Chains A and B, each alone.
Chain A
């Protein structure tokens, strides 16, 4: 079975400061890891994914994430937060050798609030 943990329900950060949204995972074998963002009453938007290779993955809107195999983590980061980054962020995982349908398992989400 695969699982994802997002330990923080909410993260508050001042605009211009770096932000980190945490994610840890559990999966059999190699993971495929994803980050999505959701604005109120909207669908999820894909930010970035890790498949293989470089542990630092760069994505949309200046976000990046670092894959750490030993810590089974895939934290989302941004060097300088914007108020417009305030949204709900989801981490998701699937195993490289997953079952049919390429199903993803999502975390419970972290609400990011960026304040002036």
Chain B
């Protein structure tokens, strides 16, 4: 069966410090991968998605970036954190069977980031 991991679970960082959040998926190959941010426990904002190694699409311009160095690894980064980067970051995966497929997205446990 497939599983998705995120770490760390919680992170407290000062403003201006760098960030690296990691997401890995097990039990599947060539998944679509997604990074979301959830602010104030409510709506989800899609930040990045990837349909393959090295292929990253950005949905929202900001000081965050994403990379996919391996098939089942997705990393969210920042060179300098802002207060507004605080939130709950969720990684998700879906089966990558091409455009138009109804495949479900499955979410990881999330990382709570607090920028002080």
Contacts and interface: CB of A to CB of B under 8 A. Distances in A.
Tell me whether A and B are bound partners. yes
Given A45-B107, A46-B106, A49-B104, A102 B32 contact: yes
Contacts of B43: 106-109
Contacts, number: 66
Interface in A69-104: 88, 90, 94, 96-104
A41 B112 contact: yes
B84 interface: no
B77 to A, nearest CB: 20
Interface residues of B, number: 30
A51 interface: yes
B57 A101 contact: yes
Interface of B: 6, 32, 34, 41-44, 46, 49-51, 57, 59, 88, 90, 92, 94, 99-110, 112
10 contacts: A44-B90, A46-B106, A96-B100, A98-B99, A98-B100, A100-B57, A102-B101, A106-B44, A108-B43, A109-B42
Interface of A: 32, 34, 36, 41-46, 49, 51, 88, 90, 94, 96-104, 106-109
Give the top 6 A-B pairs by smallest Cβ distance, nearest first: A43-B107, A101-B49, A44-B107, A32-B102, A108-B43, A51-B102
Contacts of B50: 101
A100 B44 CA distance: 19
B81 to A, nearest CB: 21
A42 B100 contact: no
A31 to B, nearest CB: 10
Contacts of A97: 99-100
B99 A99 contact: yes
A42 B99 contact: no
Contacts of B94: 102
Contacts of B101: 102
A93 to B, nearest CB: 11
Nearest to A32: B102
Nearest to A108: B43
Contact of B49 (A43, A96, A103, A108): A103
A43 B37 CA distance: 11
